[in-house]
Amino acid sequence: MLAIIGGSGLTQLSTLEIARREVVRTPYGEPSGALLFGRLRERAVVFLARHGYGHTIPPHLVNYRANLWALKHVKATALISVASVGGIRDDFGPGALVVPHQIIDYTWGRKSTFFEGGDEGVHHIDFTHPYDEPLRQRILAAGMATGEHIVNGAVYAATQGPRLETAAEVDRLERDGAELVGMTGMPEAALAREIGLPYAAINVIANYAAGRGASEKGILFDSIEVVLQDAMVRVRRVLEEVCKS
């Protein structure tokens, strides 16, 4: 069963034929909301809104461990994350879709592992390649099949939030090699790896990062909403195609 976590702009899947909702209790507290079970193009899918269905949970307070544990508990076999990001590269303008291949983690203070010592023990994961390559290729193939251009590969910088970055901070991220900046990619990707859940992401560029492109004088939030509304229609089309494969 494919799991989909939706971020800003994707708090629901309008084409998902919902069969039931389930509130899952976890050892790590409450997930962001009830899990929605249904079918997408005849494939069993479970959906979760990362920030809650009313978009009430900021990035640094998302209970990532509960979310991932719950999805694994209901026997999800793969997970696609959908998240909006800022574009650092010149050609990463609003509306572009990107499937990242690497992560740099700048977050702090988040519960980032299921293994905290004691009875849980200590567990080290290989995180050389943070995204599952076969799942990445399925997304890219779905983009080709639907005629949606998806950029193959980018370095995602995970920042703490909830505020956006300063122009100087984005300069630093670029020097570090980052090409996208978002707030929810970590520890989500690492937790998925810890529990053996193949994980890949579709990043929707909502705006140029601070100091880049049209955002040089500041971020225009009204325009972000318009971009996301259009882009998420295309993302849903890609997800439907993924469910056919």
Residues making up the binding site: 8, 50-51, 183-184, 207-209
Q: Which residue's entry shows tokens 């009875």?
A: 119
Contact 197, 68 (CB under 8 A): yes
Contact 44, 1 (CB under 8 A): yes
Contact 103, 185 (CB under 8 A): yes
Which residues make up each annotated binding site for substrate? 183, 207-209
Helix and strand totals (H; E) in the chain: 5, 11
State the Cα–Cα distance between residues 117 and 104, nearest whole angstrom: 25
DSSP SS3 for 74: coil
Phi-psi region of 75 (alpha: psi -120 to 50; beta: other; left: phi over 0): left
How far are the Cα atoms of 6, 190, 192, 197 from residue 26, in angstroms, in the given order? 20, 18, 15, 17
Helix, strand, coil percentages (3-state) for the chain, rounded to 5, are 30, 25, 45
Query: What's the length of the chain?
Result: 245
Question: Within 13 Å of residue 150, how many CA atoms lie on the same side as its CB?
Answer: 29
Which residues make up each annotated binding site for phosphate? 8, 50-51, 184
Q: Token pair for residue 19? A: 């069969």
Q: Which residue's entry shows tokens 């994707």?
A: 10
